[in-house]
Structures are given as structure tokens and as C-alpha cells.
Amino acid sequence: MSSTLTLTLNTTPPQAESLAALQRLFSEACNALAPVVKDTKCWNRVALHHLTYKGLRERFPQLGSQMVCNAIYSVSRSARIVYQHPQSPWNVAREPAKALPLLNFLPTAPVYFDRHTLSLKAGQLSLFTLDGRIRFQLNLSAADELLFEQSKLREIVLNRSGDRFVLQFQFVEADDLPELGSAEWTELPEYLLVFPEAPGSNAAGASSLNESVLV
């Protein structure tokens, strides 16, 4: 059984801008990966990491090593749902020889965090941004603290809702880890677009990224 804890961050204007800047660059990194996935038909997280990590680090040095890994995870996660979900209109198994459509992440796409880019201790939350760590004091209930103690943290996702930023902590029981894409198919989230053919600018980006990986 899964549980979700949602926390709205009480940001100052500078903090909100730092998070927005991170969100924009994170989506740019995802869009640099998407043409590689389309061209290679590779979206396995580990394989995609080996194929693209070096090029992404060179192209997006501000993101740092771990946030680049999180961008790879984000693309792998979305690709598995779009290309593999049995109910997806773009399920690759139905037409394996057909070229894949291109995924496009809007600047509002969520940012994935992990224990290297986010920490929570004694009610103080610390988040990675392009401008350094920013911190928030949280008032967690006893039930919230119990979730962190007794459940396995599966994902940490930062979303923007209007002018507010919201963190979602997704927990699962330690012996109950569902496969991505196992949930019922729904419409694509508003931050993700699917193009039957790659725009010229994105195709060029794929070439440059692959070149930097192969050097």
C-alpha cells in the first residue's frame, strides 16, 4: 500500500525564483535526453545513464551530478509509462518497427529529489537549488513522522501549483514496491507532450548530446 505526504513550501520571493530556475533547467535536461530515447529506443534507467550521463554533465554543469541522475530517472520514468503501459496509445509493443514519438517536458515539469539533494532532520528541510541550498522549517504531525519512520520513501517530487511550490513524498511498504507504469492509464499530465515527429531543433540537440557522450 502506498501513501503520499504533500507539503506546501512557504517560500520567499527569492526562494521561489530559485526553485523556478531549477525547474526550468531540469526540464531542459529532460528535453536533451528525450531525443536520445527516441532515436535509440533506450529508456532503461541504468542503460540511459551510461549512454548520456557524461554529455549531460558537460551540457548542464549547474545541475550537478545527482540532479543529472534525477533527470535521467524522470525521463526513464515517463518513457516507461508512455512507451510501455498496456493502455498507452503509444505502446511500442503494438508496432515495434515504428519510430517512437518524441517526449517534450514543459518548464512546469516536476523536479525529482533524493537523499543527496534533499534532507529532512528535526523538522528542517534542506533543498538543492542552482543558487545553493535553501531551508524551510516544517511542522510535521506525529502521523507524518511515523510515515518517515515506518515506510520506505519511493519518490520525492517538487511541483508548482500556481505561485506555490509543493513537495510530495511518496511512500510504500518495504515489501510492496510497485512497478512504474503498473497503475491504470490516465491522460498525460499537462507538463508532458508527445510529438509524432521530432522538431528540427530537438533533433539537432540529440546529435550534439550523442557526440559529447561518444567522445
pTM of the model: 0.85
CB 18 within 8 A of CB 134: yes
More confident residue, 13 or 123: 13
Going from N- to C-terminal start, the domains of the chain cover: 2-214
| Mean pLDDT along residues 5-14 | 93
Percent of the chain with pLDDT over 90: 63
Instruction: State the pLDDT at residue 186.
Output: 66
Q: 104 and 188 in contact (C-beta within 8 Å)? A: no
pLDDT digits (tens, 9 = 90+) for 26-76: 999 999 999 999 999 999 999 999 999 999 999 999 999 999 999 999 999
